[in-house]
A and B are shown apart, each in its own frame.
Chain A
Amino acid sequence: MLSKKQIFTKGILAVAPHMFSVIPFGIVCGAIGIELGFSPILVYAMSIIIFGGASQIVFLQLLSGGASALIAVTSVGVINSRHLLYGAVLSEYLEKLSFIKKLLISYLVVDQGFAESNKFFQKNKNETHLHYHLLGSGGTLWICWQISTLAGIILGSFVPEELGLKFAVPLTFIAIVVQDIKKLDHVIVMITCGLSSLLFFDAPFKSYIIISPIIALFVAALVLRLKK
């Protein structure tokens, strides 16, 4: 049986290799926020409130393009709906915790932390203090994220606008989905979403950002049915 501290430390060590991608990504996110024309305080507040790179970029990108706050918040919700999956998986291990503890932990759960902690949970199902692993992995990622986005905010103030750093936004998301282009079903869903986003780009309130994922998910459901 491992102590709380041992499990906590294991959580920290498990996400350590991810720092090589998290820190530069944090710098990019901070810099993009400034490039989009927002005040440093607002950009940094996103790091505390949203605490998620992709969501922060989308949120600021939409607001800067004139989207309503409702659309921006909803699209962050759509992007994060994969956390429904994480929640479903983690609930098995967190069942005994109080609601407040679950809320605190869930604030810290991001993709990398989930991936590492879930691996640990599957191997150590019988430990009692499993959630300390999530606190270790999530807490480490949180601290690194805050520092690196701050660094990006400071760097971003020096980057001249001619560089067109805004182009880093689509590039970031290419990097996130590019591994799925070897799967035909995913490619169909991606092209559906991309083409509908161009088609509905002029729809009011930037609603293309909600409309196209809904169309694409509908197509995904159809593809799934055909696969069976």
Chain B
Amino acid sequence: MRMTMVALVDRHLLGERVKAVLAYVPSAVFPAIIFPGIFINDYGTFIEMNDPKIFGAIVAILVGYFSRNVIATIISGLFSYWIIIFLL
């Protein structure tokens, strides 16, 4: 899939408009994984507003924004989630 995209695309094939829209692809795709991953539980129903996953996600957003580090973001979110479910 990715191969055909790189191999077949000619530099003149894409107009400026299409390129500008493609720049939004990460923002347009990944929230479809993020939102259900946080707000919907294993049984397909909405979680409560005090769910530890919401807290973990907020921590991850803050750490990710300021650290710009992918691994720090994942680890901080997981740890804050674990602290709530195991210690509190």
Contacts and interface: CB of A to CB of B under 8 A. Distances in A.
Interface in B1-57: 1-11, 13-14, 17, 19-40, 44, 46, 53, 56-57
Nearest to A180: B27
Interface stretch (A101-109, A120-128, A150-158): A101-109
Given A106-B3, A175-B64, A91 B11 contact: yes
A169 B37 contact: yes
B57 A171 contact: yes
B56 A167 contact: yes
Contacts of B9: 84, 87-88, 91
A85 interface: yes
Contacts of A85: 14, 19, 22-23
20 contacts: A73-B1, A80-B5, A84-B22, A88-B19, A91-B10, A91-B11, A165-B78, A173-B31, A175-B64, A175-B71, A176-B30, A178-B60, A189-B24, A193-B27, A193-B29, A193-B32, A194-B31, A209-B32, A213-B28, A221-B21
Interface of A: 20-21, 24-25, 28, 52, 54, 57-58, 61, 73, 75-92, 99, 102-103, 105-107, 109, 163-182, 185-187, 189-198, 201-202, 208-209, 212-213, 216-217, 219-221, 224
Interface of B: 1-11, 13-14, 17, 19-40, 44, 46, 53, 56-57, 60-61, 64-65, 68-71, 73-74, 77-78, 81-82, 85
